[in-house]
Amino acid sequence: MFHRIHSTIFALLFLAAFVVNTFILNNQSIGVILLVAYVGFYGWELGGVITQAEKAILRWWLGVWTLLSILILVLTASYYIWKVTPEVIQVTILLTPPLMLWACKKATHHSLFAHVHDLWHERRHAIPRMVLITTSAILLLLTLFFVTLAQHPVVDAVRSVWERLPISVFLLFILASALIFGLLVRGKERALSLLLFCLCLFGLLSVAAIVFPLGFGFDSFIHKATELHLAEFGTITPKPFYYIGQYVLVLFLHHGFLISVDLADTFLVPVLTTLLLPAAWFFAAAHITRKRSIAMMSLMGLFLLPLSNFIVTTPQALANLWTLLLVLASVPYLLEKEHPRLRVLFVSALTTLLIHPIAGIPGLLYFMFLATDPSRTNPGTPKTNRAVRGFLILVACVILPLSFVMNALVTHQDLGVNVSALNPLTWLSQLNLNVFFENRFSPLLDLVYLYGLNATLLVIAIVIFAWQEYHQDLSRRFRAILLTVIALTVNYLIMKTALQFSFLIDYERTNYAARLVPLIIFFLSPYLILGLGHVFMNLKTQPLVLRASVLMLLIAISGSSLYLAYPRRDAYETNRGFNVSSADIDAVYLTEELAGGQPYIALANQSVSAAAISEIGFRYFGDLFFYPIPTGGDLYESFLAMNESPTRETAQSALDLVPEHGDITTLFFLVNSYWWEAPRIIETAKSTADDWRSVGEGQVYVFEYNF
């Protein structure tokens, strides 16, 4: 009764505040507060419906994850049936309180307010003074870390964020992570330690979001432009069959809580990863190790994961996060417990598919392996069970290459298939499991890359160790994980050797296959937790020197993870791309001004094209975008040809690509000063163009060709 009273009072207050802010105040700050209240309270309530055995944060993250998944499913259905409008999202939010009251009618858990009340009045654990001092030091270090990032915004073209940030950011982060790791080893004050760890993880994931105010990467600009279009019109033509899961979540934040599309998109994946991943990891580790102190220590293993997948919001990043959460959430079911049940896992697996198919298809396959486990299916039909299982395994091993082939047939993309590459010898040559060890006479950099270039091997080694130690107990329970990993590995080898993505530019043709490597690691995360838990448990009885050495190694890995999570330009690697700069944006607006409202085609690199999408939006001539996107298209080939020979004939041949090009007589050729052989290109183009200008003190040159 008290639970229903608390929930009803909160629902009335929330709905009143939501209506006032949505229709009268229109305040983004209040919207953020309402969003926190909405996710916090109803995530807790739904978590109590899913499982009543877990406590506090372990129940809350499951509820939030499931709540967001349900919202994505509902809004995606609305998108495909009709549109995603502000009214649809507002009605969805207004219906949440009564629906949640109905769902919790038979629940016996305490409300969030009752839980807080119990915590306040229970016998308090006296936190030692040293822990309080350590906590204060951590908060100070992380505050200085974020302030330093905010004081060094990057608006010019750079290949790596580390070219502009001072070395102090590494020192602050490493010192903060060292103190946090010390609290994790202590194993007490778990709620406090988990909160501080989340803050540290956010520091690692938010560098790009804070330092690059104009945006980071390339794909994110396309997705933001799509989200802005959807925010204005509610739909887009033609309707995509993927990515919509991310789009509707951003629109939910924008229309429902008045958060700008740019802000919602920029911080969506870093914030969700920060809030959900540590809790999910601790949730899985608590079930695997059965000791919460060891589960806390295993949080340090999060830095062994490829965290670069979560530094920028893209559908692939969000789907990767949902896949990893799916694997961690399934651990109790794998260990023959009852929560969360398969229907909860199915909702999230289906949501992953709506966000991005490369992660969603493996997620659904994993769910199918769970649902068709021979030990849990009908024992009266063993032959049928084996037949279904065998067919599912066969399909799983080729499903992603087949999906690319089918997509190429439908969209008429140029996708080659090299059947001769489908042999074990070719596959073995592509595994590249050699140990990397080089010396570039830079001790710190050598140490970073010694870990970074062997990180996958290190994870595999820990997984193999865990398998050897526990395979008798886990061979049946973790069968679904192993089958998914084997299927993904076969998919990876086929895509890397047999599929030829000729519609992409040369250096991007292995990207699709490379996206499967992090997914394989994510599916191995329960084994990684198991191996780390075994090591940490045995370390407790070892000499202090050995324990301190392992802790120092993990601290070094955390600092290396921060450096390796972002594009780099050093003695080992040189990033190919440049970020979008203010000069790129100025060049886009200058081109628009010179065009004088007349249609035109522009030839430019990816950064300028991303700026055009961000500032102007989508403008097509038939199926041809007016800037050279995608990079595997004919217009990008014309851009490369202009770089080779910036003549009027080359410019005219680019205009010939435009359907009904007689209506378009103007072409602009934009050259960034950092481009290869830029001085030669610029001087040659000056002699062939009808007019030229420059912006950003010569950072970008704009050449105009009129026919």
pLDDT digits (tens, 9 = 90+) for 357-400: 999 999 999 999 998 887 766 666 677 777 888 899 999 999 99
pLDDT at 126: 78
Rounded distance between C-alpha atoms, residue 176 and residue 194, angstroms: 14
Determine contact, residues 68/319, Cβ cutoff 8 Å: no
CB 594 within 8 A of CB 568: no
For the residues 289-299, what does the mean pLDDT come to? 94
What does residue 323 show for φ and ψ, rounded to 5 degrees?
-65, -45
Q: What average pLDDT score do residues 674-684 get?
A: 95
- Give me the pLDDT at residue 657, please: 92
Give the domain extent around 528: 133-564
- How are strands ordered across the β-sheet holding 700-706? 601-603, 666-672, 700-706, 691-695
Query: Contact at 8 Å (CB) between 658 and 674?
Result: no
Residues 615 and 510 reside in one and the same domain:
no
Share of the chain above pLDDT 70, in %: 92
Burial class (CB in 10 A: 0-12, 13-18, 19+), 509: middle
Length of the chain equals 707
Claim to verify: residue 89 and residue 166 sit in the same structural domain: no
Same domain, 185 and 145: yes
pLDDT at position 477: 85
For the chain, the average pLDDT equals 90
Name the phi and psi angles at 619, rounded to 5.
-140, 120
Q: How far is CA 605 from CA 5, 399, 577, 626, 639, in A?
A: 60, 34, 10, 13, 8
Kindly state whether residues 491 and 609 are assigned to the same domain. no
For residues 349 and 261, membership in a common domain is answered with yes
Same domain assignment for residues 100 and 209? no
Is the pLDDT score of 536 beyond 80?
yes
Could you tell me if 415 and 267 lie in one domain? yes
Classify residue 128: in a domain, yes or no: no
Model pLDDT for residues 466-476, shown as the tens digit of each residue: 999 888 877 78
The strand pairing partners of 693, in sequence order, are: 702
What pLDDT is attached to residue 238? 81
CB 202 within 8 A of CB 603: no
Query: Rounded to an integer, what distance in angstroms lies between the CA atom of residue 218 and that of residue 607?
Result: 7
Q: Is the same domain home to 587 and 683?
A: yes
Cα dist. 172→141, 209, 347, 386 in Å?
6, 18, 40, 55
Q: Lowest mean pLDDT: which of 49-53, 112-116, 282-286, 655-659? A: 112-116
Q: Is the pLDDT reported for residue 139 higher than 70?
A: yes
pLDDT at 288 over 90: yes
Count of structural domains within the chain: 3
This prediction has a pTM of 0.95
User: What is the pLDDT at residue 508?
Assistant: 59
Domain membership of residue 577 (yes or no) is no
- Mind listing the pLDDT tens digit for each residue in 178-217? 999 999 999 888 989 999 999 999 999 999 999 999 999 8
What is the pLDDT at residue 505?
62
In this model, does residue 281 exceed pLDDT 60? yes
E strand or H helix at 363: helix 357-371
Read off the pLDDT of residues 23-63 as tens digits, 9 standing for 90 and up.
999 999 999 999 999 999 999 999 988 887 666 678 899 99
Closest by CA position to 591, among listed 688, 670, 664, 653 = 670
Same domain, 195 and 250: yes
pLDDT at 112: 62
416-461 confidence digits (pLDDT tens): 777 777 777 677 766 666 777 778 878 899 999 999 999 999 999 9
The CA-atom distances, in angstroms, between 204 and each of 18, 262, 307, 561, 614 are: 33, 20, 9, 8, 26
pLDDT of residue 244: 96
> Which is more confidently placed, 54 or 265?
265
702 contacts: CB under 8 Å, gap ≥ 6: 587, 590, 591, 594, 668, 669, 670, 692, 693, 694, 695
Residues 138 and 20 in one domain: no
